[in-house]
């Protein structure tokens, strides 16, 4: 069963484990200088990134959830307010991709977006990200391609 668990300190520890176990740092946070892989600096940056963006009320800009499948952390989902819209983002561990979990998480995020009172659900991805494009097209979002960037926009009622 796939559920979204609101991020808190214990959940953030589980989320870092999921990222290290099965995601590329560039898929889950902004670039950090240094040798490739999950160095100590990148692990610290991952924790600082989520503290700043979600956990610290003074700086928070988004709500983040751990994606739990049968009680195991396999990725993250987020909603960030932009005016009357909420921007969604998802990443999953490589070993669980392609099994429909992204589709389930998108539906759960969409329900959260509707509960938040936002007028639009938006997301962005790259032209070569076929699974993300399928996810966003699948919920009925309008997709606009501009070069390598794809913007998704879905009005909420």
Ligand X SMILES: CC(C)(COP(=O)(O)OP(=O)(O)OC[C@H]1O[C@@H](n2cnc3c(N)ncnc32)[C@H](O)[C@@H]1OP(=O)(O)O)[C@@H](O)C(=O)NCCC(=O)NCCS
Count each helix (H run) and each strand (E run) in the chain, helices first: 5, 7
Q: How far is the CB of 98 from ligand X (least distance, A)?
A: 4
Beta strands in 2-84 (DSSP E): 2-6, 62-69, 72-82
Q: Torsion angle of alpha carbons 49, 51, 52, 57, nearest 10°?
A: 160
* 64 lies in the binding site for ligand X (CB under 6 A): no
Q: What is the CA radius of gyration of the chain?
A: 15
Residue 97 CA to its chain's centroid (Å): 14
CB of residue 57 to ligand X, shortest distance in Å: 26
Instruction: Please state the closest distance from residue 152 (CB atom) to ligand X, in A.
Output: 8
- As measured in angstroms, the least distance from the Cβ of 69 to ligand X is 10
97, 108, 120, 139: which one binds ligand X (CB under 6 A): 97
Q: Is 25 in the site for ligand X (CB under 6 A)?
A: no
> 83: which residues sit within 8 A by CB, 6+ positions away?
none
Question: Binding to ligand X by residue 27, rule CB under 6 A?
Answer: yes
Question: Is 125 an interacting residue with respect to ligand X (CB under 6 A)?
Answer: yes
Chain residue whose CB lies nearest ligand X = 102
If the CB atoms of residues 56 and 144 are measured against ligand X, the closer one turns out to be 144
């Amino acid at each position: 069963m796939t559920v979204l668990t609101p991020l808190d300190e214990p959940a953030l520890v589980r989320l870092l484990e999921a990222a290290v176990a099965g995601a590329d740092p560039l898929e889950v946070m902004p670039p950090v200088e240094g040798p490739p892989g999950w160095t100590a600096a990148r692990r610290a940056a991952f924790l600082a990134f989520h503290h700043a963006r979600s956990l610290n009320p003074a700086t928070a800009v988004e709500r983040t959830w751990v994606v739990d499948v049968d009680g195991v952390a396999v990725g993250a989902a987020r909603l960030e307010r932009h005016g009357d819209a909420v921007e969604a983002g998802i990443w999953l561990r490589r070993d669980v991709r392609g099994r429909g979990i992204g589709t389930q998480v998108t539906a759960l995020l969409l329900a959260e977006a509707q509960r938040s009172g936002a007028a639009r659900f938006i997301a962005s991805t790259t032209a070569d990200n076929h699974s993300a494009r399928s996810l966003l097209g699948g919920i009925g979002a309008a997709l606009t391609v501009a070069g390598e960037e794809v913007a998704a926009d879905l009005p909420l009622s």
